Amino acid sequence: MKITAIMATCGRHYCCERSLSLFLEQDYENKHLLIYQNSEIPQRLNNCVNPDLVTLVNNNIDRQTGQPYTSLGAIYNDAIQYIPANTDVITFWDDDDLFFDDHLTEGVSGLIRGGKIAYKPAFSYFRTQTTLSKNQNTFEPSIFTKSQHILQYGFHNTTTDQHFKWLEPLLANDDIFVDEAGKSTLIYNWIDEVMIYKTSGHSHKPDHFNEYRTLSYDHGDAVITPISVFNSF
């Protein structure tokens, strides 16, 4: 099965380099990473990155309104137009989180094993400045979903509940195989060496989209290059 991971990012150069590197180290072969870079300052991939594995799209204009983006949902609705046509499974690759090298392998295996539209392990890791804990959750980056479902439903044009448009039908119809014994391969990362402003930490401020983007900028040298991720964990 072909899996495409979608990374929506806005000039978070340090995060992009680390997240790209974590993707390239995945042991699953039939994979693709779509980096949808929506800052007005373009980035490019280092020439060493295989274009068969990674696509970088620079776009900060909402295709529906013709204006700069005002929500994460609008960004995702445009991003999914660029996934490879032969994609079977979609997952979300948040640029500030961490992934074990078998994250995609475990996800595809669980999706096949469960026989439903989507799969997620019941537990994921949560990393703060002082703790690393494993907790049950329903967050979307740990969910693996058949591509047809996400392409059919799309995303709400909001910033804090954009994923609910495709997620709520799955929950309502019991179409997610939540595996209590599934391997936890994702770390929700709440601490970093650079300024990270997480939307999930500001869900009480639905109008914080521009603030989130401004505090997130880190354009670096504008060339996204694989780095050593040995110390990311």
For residue 131, pLDDT over 60 is answered with yes
Q: Is the confidence at residue 206, as pLDDT, over 60?
A: no
Section 108-134 average pLDDT: 94
- pLDDT tens for 104-119 read 999 999 999 999 999 9
Q: Is residue 66 over pLDDT 80? A: yes
| The amino acid at 53 | L
Instruction: Check residue 195 and give its pLDDT.
Output: 45
At 200 the pLDDT is 45
| Confidence bin at 137 (pLDDT 50/70/90) | confident
Structure-model confidence comparison of residues 124 and 11, the more confident one: 124
What domains can be seen in the chain, in order of their start residue? 3-224 (3.90.550.10)
Residue entry with tokens 């058949």: 146
> pLDDT confidence of 130, banded at 50, 70, 90?
confident
Per residue in 30-53, pLDDT tens? 999 999 999 999 999 999 999 999
Q: How confident is the model at residue 190 (pLDDT cuts 50, 70, 90)?
A: confident
